[in-house]
Amino acid sequence: MAYQFNSGKRIRLSALIKDGSITDETIIKIYDDQTGRCLAAGNWFQDQVLNYSEQFGHANSVSNGDIVRFWLD
């Protein structure tokens, strides 16, 4: 079952990848929730994004799911 983006629910980034909510084409932008600073951006399989795969946060989808903003807790 795919994750409901924009729900505010806390989830691990790797769970979004495993359940198919994030595809190979999806651009993931990872943000620090406290500073608002973008920490990494790219596809899930790129090292700069994989470094955050076990982190928890909440995800928002924009551009019909082509871009996912993942805010770290």
Q: What is the pLDDT of residues 13-61, one digit of tens each?
A: 999 999 988 999 999 999 999 999 999 999 999 999 999 999 999 999 9
> Which helix (H) or strand (E) element contains residue 42?
strand 38-42
Give the chain's domain count: 1
Q: For the segment 51-73, what is each residue's pLDDT rounded down to a tens digit?
A: 999 999 999 997 676 999 999 99
| pLDDT tier for residue 12 given thresholds of 50, 70 and 90 | very high
DSSP classification of residue 17: H
- Say if 68 falls within a structural domain: yes
Its domain, for residue 39, covers: 11-72
SS3 category, 14:
helix
CA-to-CA separations, 13 to 56, 66, 67, in angstroms, rounded: 6, 16, 14
Is 44 among the domain residues?
A: yes
Question: Is pLDDT of 1 > 70?
Answer: no
pTM above 0.85, yes or no: yes
What is the CB neighbour count within 10 angstroms for residue 4?
12
Q: Is residue 41 situated within a structural domain?
A: yes
pLDDT value for 41: 97
- The residue among 59, 72, 65 whose CA lies nearest residue 26 is 65
**Residue 65 falls inside a structural domain:** yes
